[in-house]
Every structure is written in C-alpha cells, then in structure tokens.
Amino acid sequence: MSAIASARARDDEDDESQPLTAAARAQRQRQCLRMLGVVLASYTLDTLLLLGFARFGAIDGFAPWAYAGAGAVACGVFWVLLRSGKSEGLADPFLVVPQMLVHSAIHLAFVMWVPAVGVPLLMMLLVINAFGAMRVSRMAVLSTSALIAIGVAGVLAWGGLNVALPTGNLGQRVVSAAWFALVLARVTLLDLYGLQLRDVLMQRNAKLKAKFEKMHRRATRDGLTGTLSRRSVMELLDQQHRKFELTGQSFSIVLLDIDHFKQVNDRFGHPVGDEVLRAFSRRASAEMRTSDRLGRYGGEEFLAVLTATEDESSAHIAAERVRDGVAKHAWNRLHPDLKVTVSLGVAVCRPEETVEELLARADAALYAAKHAGRDCVRMG
C-alpha cells in the first residue's frame, strides 16, 4: 500500500550507501510520512466500501469502523516511529517490511472476523505485497511474501471459515464489483509507476554512462587534439610490448614531429597553432589503420603505435602514408600562407628490446629525418 510513495523516495536519493546530509534526512522523513498518507487513504477507501457492504446487509455495521480504527492506529504507530527518526539507521528506513506485515495481519484478522467479505480483503494482500515490493530488496520481498502466504494458508484452514465475495443482492454485487475495480486500479497505477520508475532509472543509467565515458575520455585523451594522452599512449605501448614478449608478434612505433611548429605559432598566432594541432591529429589518424593508435607525446610531437606492423617495409609504408597525407592537406584553409609538414622516425620492436630502447631508436630516427631536410621518414 505504501510503495508508490516509497518509490518516489528512491528516485530522489542518489546513493543510500553514502551518509545523508541533514537536508536529505529531512526530505526522506517527509517522504516516509507522505507514504503513510497513501496508506491511510487506502484504508479510507476500503472503509467506504465496507460501509457499502454493511449497508446492503453483507456484514455487521461495526466492522467497517473497526477496520478504519485498526488502520488508523497502525498508521499512527508508524507515524510516531518514522517521525522520531529512529529508523534512519536501519537498512529499511521506511519500515516497509514491518508495515507490510502489520497491514497484512490486520486484513487477515478481519478475514477471520468477517469471512463474508474475506475475498475482497484477501485481494488487498496482493496490493500490499506489490506496493511494498517497489521499495525493499528481492530477498525481503520473498521472505515477506512467504510469511504472508503462510498467514493466508493458516486463515483459510481455520475452522471451516466460509470466505466469500458478497453477491447476495444487487447492492452487494455492485460493491463487490467496485472493490475489484479499485483494487485493479491500484495495481494498474503501481504498474504504470513501475514503468515510469524504470524509465527514470534507465535515463539515470544513460546519464551515468555518458558521464563516465566523458570522465574516461578526459582521463585518457589529450584535451586539445582528442588523441590519446601521453600517459595513455605509453600504457598502450607497454601493453603491446608485453604482448610481444608473450606471443612474439612484433609491432612498430612512429614518433611524429610537426616541422617548424614554433614558427607557425610565432607567425600565425597560437589560435592557428592549436587548429594546426587538431587538424594534424585528424589527418594523421585518418591515414592510419583502425588498429593503430595515435597519442600526443608532448607539444607538437606525437607517438603512434602500429599494432600489427612487424617489418620495416610495412612500417615505412604506413609512416609514409601519414607523411604524404599531412603534406597534401589543405592547410591554406586555416591561413592562405600556411603549409605544414611532418618528420617521422620509425622503429620496429626487436626481441629482448625494452620499451625505452625502442623509443630511443625511434627518437634517433626522428632526429635523422629532421637533419635530412624534414618532411620525410627515417627508420631506426
């Protein structure tokens, strides 16, 4: 009976495993008390239906008021407990399971007292259990449902009770139909709210996933160029080297340095220099295979890991393709007088060679490319 309000509370809480602030505790307490309002409203509605049954002779006229009193007392007790804040430290701060058991016990007691309306009262157990399941854990739902089922079995086996649905006259049939319709309406509302809650959770998961991906990208990508950060590309290089040691499948690396980049900044300004870095990264990446990775090594220098390039000939071809693509790029779109080239030093990993030795050979090859006039590829 109380799960709709408690489900709303779940929407408003970010993480119950984290300590709540005073404002969050106050908000949750208000949610708990609103939940009791839903419960009390349900008792009020069913009391009116019981009064209808009494009006048409199905039960004694005192039973509806006793039912209303029992519900009011139960709600009052839980209101005091929740209002005091003593449940805050519990795994079930809304006291959903105790409420499910108490309200189920009330309905079972009235089934025994007025079995003539036992079927409508038993219907309410389904609503109570379904509403409570919106808040508590799966294990709590199963254990609570088992206890309720045991209680129902005991009541039905009690001294030959004639548990019935009043249909003795037209008035009783109308009230019975209304009771069924209102129970169905409550279950339907619960289902609709469950769908809404699922949509909210899916949206939250999507936002969390997007936020995680954004954080992951910030942690692994260079903020300016979008290529791998130095740390990430070095981690990739280490992984590839370990794979080489295990499988013997060699790979290559390329150190790329944009020629005369300082002059680009000095002549055209740093904003143009930043655009050159971004455009270079896009062009170089476009000329590489999808299995290769490009990272910013520092400043205008980049490091490419060619994961399945095992010999100098294929590594040279891959590097030359990048060099040619950069040279042919329409740099004049950034500035009419702008032209950008790149020098590349290539090294194929050798057996028993460390990462540091591999990088040193690529760096030496890059140095040779610069001394050879730049805009060229040299092997290390």
Residues known to be catalytic: 300
Q: How far apart are CA 83 and CA 200, in angstroms?
A: 28
The answer to whether the beta carbons of residues 168 and 128 sit under 8 Å apart is no
Distances (CA, A) of 189 to 3, 128, 166, 347: 11, 13, 26, 67
Q: How far apart are CA 254 and CA 293, in angstroms?
A: 10
Question: Quick one: which of 178, 155, 170 has its CA closest to 58?
Answer: 170
Q: How far apart are CA 338 and CA 340, in angstroms?
A: 7
The answer to whether the beta carbons of residues 13 and 30 sit under 8 Å apart is no
Reduced DSSP (H G I as helix, E B as strand, rest coil) percent helix, strand, coil of the chain, to 5: 65, 10, 25
Intra-chain end-to-end CA distance of the chain, in Å: 75
Question: Quick one: which of 330, 331, 312 has its CA closest to 320?
Answer: 312
Q: How far apart are CA 272 and CA 253, in angstroms?
A: 28
The answer to whether the beta carbons of residues 114 and 59 sit under 8 Å apart is yes
CA angle 305, 311, 312 (to 5 degrees): 85
Q: What are the start-end ranges of the E strands in the chain? A: 252-258, 293-298, 301-306, 342-348, 377-379
Q: How far apart are CA 76 and CA 87, in angstroms?
A: 15
Distances (CA, A) of 196 to 7, 13, 37, 200: 10, 16, 21, 6
Neighbouring CB atoms inside 10 A of 15's CB total 7
Q: How far apart are CA 267 and CA 170, in angstroms?
A: 96
Residues 6+ apart with CB under 8 A from 2: 35, 36, 38, 39, 94, 96, 99, 131, 132, 135
